[in-house]
Amino acid sequence: MGFISSMFQRRLVGLDVGVSGIKAVELQGGKRPRLLSYNRVPLPWDAIQPDGEIREHNAVVNALKTLFESSSFTSKKVAIGASGTSIITKKIQMPKMTQEELGAQLYWEAEQYIPFQLDDVNLDFAILGDADSADGQPMMDVLLVAAKKDYVQGIAAVASDAGLDPAVVDIQPFALGNVFEFNYGHLLNLSHGAVSAMIDFGAGTTKVSIVEGDKTSFTRDLRQSGTSCTVQISQQLGVSLPEAEKMKIASATEPQVAQIIAQHCESLSEELSRTLDFYISQAPDRVIQGIYICGGASRTLGLIPAMEARLSAPIHVLNPIQNIAGSGKKMNAEAIKELSYLGAVAVGLSLRTLGDT
Across the strands, what pairs with 198? Answer: 209, 292
- The candidate with the shortest Cα–Cα distance to 172, out of 244, 80, 250, is 80
Edge-to-edge strands of the sheet including 13-17? Answer: 34-42, 21-28, 13-17, 77-82, 165-171
Give SS3 for 84.
coil
Whole-angstrom distance, CA of residue 356 vs CA of residue 129: 19
Structure letter (DSSP) for residue 186 = G
**Residue 14 backbone zone (phi > 0: left; psi -120 to 50: alpha; other: beta):** beta
DSSP element (H, E) containing 292: strand 287-294
Task: Please state the pTM of the whole predicted model.
Answer: 0.88
Sign of CA dihedral 225, 229, 230, 234: positive
* Segment 116-126, tens digit of pLDDT: 888 999 998 88
CA dihedral sign, ordered 270, 260, 299, 223? positive
DSSP for 72-133? --S--EEEEEE-STTEEEEEEEEE---HHHHHHHHHHHHTTT-SS-GGGEEEEEEEEEEEEE
What was the pLDDT predicted at 6?
Answer: 35
Walking along the chain (357 residues) 10 residues at a time, the average pLDDT comes out as: 39 91 89 86 90 93 94 91 89 90 87 88 88 80 92 95 93 91 80 84 93 88 94 97 94 96 98 96 89 96 97 95 71 80 93 57
